[in-house]
Every structure is written in C-alpha cells, then in structure tokens.
Chain A
Amino acid sequence: MADNHYILVKTICIQYNIEPVFIEELQGIGLVDIITIENNKCLHKDTLTDLEKMIRMHNELHVNLEGIDVVFNLLKRVDYLQNQLSQTKNKLQFYENQ
C-alpha cells in the first residue's frame, strides 16, 4: 500500500465516512479526478489533502459543492498572491538596505 499511488474510492468512502456519490459530484464539478484502474474507481493519493479539506468545508461549514469550488479557486489565488508578496518583500529588502 505504501507504494501505491492510487487509492480505491470505496476505501476512501469508508475511511472518511462519506457517500460515493459525494466524490462523484466532486468529480462532476471538476474538483477531483477519478481514475479507473481495472474497473476500480480510484483517486491519486496526492488529492487526499484537498479532499479532506472539501469534506471539512462540507461537513463543518455546510458549504455546498459550488461554494467549495469557489473557495478552492480563491485559495489558489491567495497562494499565488502570497508567493508574489514574499518575492516582492525579498526584493524590497534590497532597497531598504541601501
């Protein structure tokens, strides 16, 4: 299992206590990529961190799927802007130490 990059959707649903239809709906909206390997639906293990976030947003904050999509787009933007900000700060330091 440690070397396996793909995890059965079935397993994920049991572990996180969610319905398979939830993951299918996430796929429908383009938030996760379901891959079929030998007739088994799987997710890449790297998507789990995001999936956990989506489950939490859904369960704890009652955000619907479209809302999750909006949040993820904004988070990507925040991440991009944060990177820009730290690069700019590094460059600003150059002028401040003149």
Chain B
Amino acid sequence: MNFIDYYKILGIDKNASESDIKKAYRKLARKYHPDLNPNDKEAEKNFKNINEANEVLSHPENRKKYDKHGKDWQHADDIERAQKQQNSRQQQGYQSYSSQQNSNEDYSDFFESMFGGSQRASGSRQGRNQVQFKGQDFNAELQLNLTDVYTKESQILTVNGKKIRLTIPAGIENEQVIKIPGKGGLGVNGGPNGDLYITFNIVNNTKFKRYGNNLHLDVDLDLYTSLLGGEIMVDTFSGKVKLKVAPETQNETKVKLKGKGFPIYKKDGQFGDFIITYHINTPKNLTDKEKELFSELKKLR
C-alpha cells in the first residue's frame, strides 16, 4: 500500500487554509467531473482522487489525523488494527451502501485503512452513485469477429447477473456504441430503469480489409494471365467467384464488384462494394529457354 499525498493531489501546500482547499478542490472538480469527461477513464480516476483528497483535507479531524500519521506511515498497522475494530462495529449501517455498484472502488486502500468505512456517509459524492429515481446506466464492451457482424447476430449477454437477449444488426462498425433502453440498473421509487450502452470491438479475422462498407482484397496475378487474359477464382466474403481477367491487365488495376462488400448498417439487403487490386507476379528462376524467349520478345518491342 502506498502513501498518498493528498496535498499534492489538490496542488496545495501543507499550510493551505480551508478556503484554499475548497477553492482547489472546486477548480479540479470542474476539470475532472465525469459529466464533463464522458468515457474518459483517466479523468474518472482523477476525480476519485480529488474527492478522496477533499474528503480528508476538508474535514478538520480527518486532516489532523492524516497530518499526524501520514508522515510516518510505518504505524499503519496500529491504525489498521484500530480501524478493523471500528469497521466491524459499523458494518450494520453500511450494508445498503455497499450493495451500490463500484462503491468499493471509490476509495484507495490507503484511505480505507486510515479512515475505514466510517467516512463514507459524509462524502458529498454519495449522491453521485446513489440511484435517486432513474436506474444507473451500464456500460459494457463486446468483442466480435468481423465474420460475426456480416450477418445479423443474436447474442445472449449477461450483465450484472441478468441475461439479455440482443440482436446486433449486420454491418456494425468497430467502436460503435449501441444503446439498449431499460437494460441498465433498476429504478427506485417507480423511476425508470437505466440504459445499457454496449461498445463493440470488431476484430478482423479475415484476409479482407474493411473500409467503411467496402471490402478490399489484393489478388496475385501471374504474368501470363495479366498479358493474355483468362479466368481466375477469387474469395469474397460470401464465397468464391469466377472472374474474367481482361488481356493486358496492368499492375495495381482495381476491379470493383458491386454489392459484394460488407452489409450496410441498418439497411437490410444493401451492401458495399468488393474491390480487388491485382498484383502481377513476374516469374523467377528463369530457364535458359525462357531467357532466350524473353530476349526475343524484347527485340520485338
């Protein structure tokens, strides 16, 4: 467990007055407040830290205790022992609060061991995490393969012990967020449930490259087919297709297969394009005979 310098967190010195502390805390709260920093884990962590610092430094008894014991932290064990006794006495009163999501992570180990759970109720933050009416919104992440989101996908998710049946429309993008209304925490006093927000992480497990709704594939073409034309088989997402290669096809030629790309999100039956780029492979390890023939070709040019 590490010692935490609460003065440093608030950017003030040890002689700071109560109003200095208040001012510093409010300034930092305006910077790191979660409502102003959506989906920012770093800001969330900072906000917890400044709250904890404020909790300690803005209460004179806490500050005195911290100033006294904070300096030589080797007495931590004695404090911890004393706190444990205190905690067990106070357990009863905190049961309702400990059922609250994340409440245990709100304070550092350092804080917990010095002040125990006894300060929790006095925190200005209590109102933040506590459901007053509408249930809490939940955030979840779901990792899927690109092949999974080519078609409409049914998944059963377990969020906070509850099973949720989910239909994911085809063509969802990496990092896209979907809101599932009413599937968050339960409301209280007749309030509506919170919502569930799912962020999708799409892993490309194919040889195709996705660019929006289009899929791209590099196809190797041997020199002779590129010169004389011919037929080749190419893998697309929906299976192999036979392609006619035009005579005298140049290197890096792009061929577009309309509607053979990725499904367009929430537009049933509509697809992007499939784009092939030909890469011409020139032959290696030529035999004497081949060299002779190429020399002859060269003379013709």
Measured CB to CB, the residues of A under 8 A from B are 1-2, 7, 11-12, 15-17, 45-46, 48-49, 52-53, 56-57, 60-62, 71, 75, 78-79, 82, 86-87, 89-91, 94, 97
Contact = CB atoms under 8 A, between A and B. Distances in A.
Contacts, number: 64
B2 to A, nearest CB: 28
A71 B175 contact: no
Interface of B: 26, 29-30, 33, 35-36, 38-39, 124, 128, 132-134, 137, 173-176, 181, 189-192, 195, 209-212, 216
A49 B181 CA distance: 12
For chain A, what secondary structure do more than half of its interface residues adopt (helix, strand, loop), or is it mixed? helix
Given A56-B35, A90-B173, A48 B133 contact: yes
Contact of B134 (A49, A62, A94): A49
A15 B35 contact: no
Contacts of A60: 29, 33, 124, 128
Given A56-B128, A60-B33, A61-B30, A90 B174 contact: yes
B211 A94 contact: yes
Closest 10 CB pairs of A and B: A15-B133, A86-B175, A48-B134, A45-B192, A94-B211, A1-B190, A53-B35, A90-B174, A94-B209, A61-B30
Contact of A49 (B30, B195, B209, B210): B195
B113 to A, nearest CB: 27
A90 B209 CA distance: 11
Give the dominant DSSP class at B's interface. Answer: loop
Nearest to B39: A82
Given A1-B190, A61-B33, A94-B216, A16 B175 contact: no
A2 B133 CA distance: 13
Given A16-B133, A53-B35, A71-B36, A11 B190 contact: yes
Nearest to A54: B35
Given A78-B38, A87-B173, A89-B175, 17 more contacts: A1-B190, A2-B192, A12-B133, A15-B189, A15-B191, A45-B192, A48-B192, A52-B134, A56-B33, A60-B33, A61-B30, A79-B38, A82-B39, A86-B173, A86-B175, A90-B174, A94-B210
A2 B195 CA distance: 13
Nearest to A12: B133
A90 B212 CA distance: 8
Contact of A45 (B134, B173, B212): B134
Contacts of A57: 33, 35-36
Contacts of A52: 132, 134
